[in-house]
Amino acid sequence: MTSVAEELINLGMRKVKWGIISTGRIAGEFASDFQFVDNAELVAVASRSQSSANEFAARFGLAKAYDSYEKLYADPEIDGIYVATPHNFHFENSKAALAAGKAVLCEKPITVNPQEFEELRAFAQEKECYLMEGMWSYFHPAIQKAQLWVSEGRIGKLVQVKADFGYAVPFDAESRMYSPKLAGGALLDMGIYPIAMAWLFMRKDPKELYVTCHKASTGVDDDVNILFDYGDETANLATSFRSKLNNNLFVIGTEATIRIPFFWKASECFLYKGDDQIDYFSDGRKSIGFNHELQAVSQDILDGKKQSDIMPHSHSAKLQELMAKVMGRF
């Protein structure tokens, strides 16, 4: 079987041609960042509504607008599919795109439980197609700079990760955020990011897990506090629809502390020794930040890879496992 990368090279092309399913906010933000990459091109969008697809295509200058996802999957020009549908549809949408032989970049969480992810991972391997969960945070230069500071020993011994992500989300029983049918809840929507940061910096399983959870009247979680106890280290994590939180990531060591504001979309990071700032990094970007992920994923596809080195399948499996354990304490 000829790979997407080989076909592109044989045709003298160096850009991966992408299609997006869904026309929501995240899809729009992702589309807007194509202008900042040099190895990818957005050419098509699909929606269940032709008018919505047409409007999105006009907004971003796309050549093709489909009124069904299936038509996009069947388009031979498309190399990769970005899945930006609600959480509960990620599994079926990603699997359908893989079945059509497309590379898949699926928004987080890639599935709503570990069993779905294991089936999806196995199917991608069977189809020999690229698959990655869109944990864009891992690709931000500021997050990678923080990782470098830790690896260089600039904070001393790592002892604690603190991360919270929360905004007041007005209650609406029919909205995606609060609907059990659409896999709503703060943990799946926002809480995956603090958990992802704990895993990124700790890279081991907690020995103990403590959780408090408040639920909305629809039954979904709207405020969650988590403590991962690793023995000598801890991770204090929180997410909420009930109130705005500090929305910072702290990576704390025996000698210094890293602070990353708005860490899920990080553009800068600070290094402190005591109360004194001793270093600072900013990526100075003009983009929203999806371009870092998009550039890396598109290069993976051009290189013939089937998964990312930065966000491999094993990381997605671990995030699914940790979230399932947290949910088990609700």
Query: Contact, 57 vs 45, CB < 8 A?
Result: yes
Catalytic residue among 17, 95, 102, 108: 108
Q: Which of 307, 291, 300, 308 is nearest to 8 (CA)?
A: 300
**Left if phi > 0, otherwise alpha if psi is -120 to 50, otherwise beta: which for 308?**
beta
DSSP class of residue 2 equals -
Q: Which of 275, 291, 200, 187 is nearest to 239 (CA)?
A: 187
The yes-or-no answer on residue 215 being catalytic is no
Query: Contact, 323 vs 109, CB < 8 A?
Result: yes
> Which parts of the chain are beta strand (E)?
16-21, 40-46, 64-66, 80-83, 103-107, 131-134, 158-166, 208-215, 221-229, 234-240, 248-253, 257-261, 268-273, 276-282
Place of tokens 């799946």: 188
Residues with catalytic roles: 108
